[in-house]
Amino acid sequence: MASSDSHFADPHQRHRAEFPATHWTVVLAAGDSAGPGMAEALEELCRAYWPPVYAFVRRQGHRPDDALDLTQGFFARFLERKQVKLADPDRGRFRSFLLSSLKNFLANEWSRAQAEPLIPLAGRTA
């Protein structure tokens, strides 16, 4: 864990991080793979939205370490799939889009964890 992220692991943190106001110019620049400022815009979005995403995951009942892993996994998948390109100012706020994406991610992670095969105890047969 990077030292700049260490404050997220504090179990006594209030988890009230608020979503910032949407700056659609940054969101649209992040989604423009041909644009010169795409990388900087993606970094700005991740820095701005990491705390409220982490706080949301914590409020869902996840332990600090698990919440860090889930938040990291969410952003990794969000960036890998270039989901920011799907954000549309005509369809609502970016925070609503991000929260919807996060809820889907958390549901998929929960389903994946539930589907993991159980390991039989040694010496027992089914």
Question: Which CATH number characterizes residue 62's domain?
Answer: 1.10.1740
Domain-embedded: residue 6: no
CA dihedral 52, 58, 61, 66 (to 10 degrees): 130
pTM: 0.78
Domain-embedded: residue 75: yes
Domain-embedded: residue 118: no
d(CA 111, CA 90): 32
For residue 90, what are the domain limits?
20-111
What is the pLDDT tens value at each position of the chain, 126 positions in all? Answer: 443 344 444 444 445 689 999 899 999 999 999 999 999 999 999 999 999 999 999 999 999 999 999 999 999 999 999 999 999 999 999 999 999 999 999 999 999 888 877 666 666 555
Domain-embedded: residue 98: yes
d(CA 116, CA 73): 18
Domain count along the chain: 1
The string of DSSP letters for 34-54 reads: TSTTHHHHHHHHHHHHHHHHH
Domain-embedded: residue 4: no
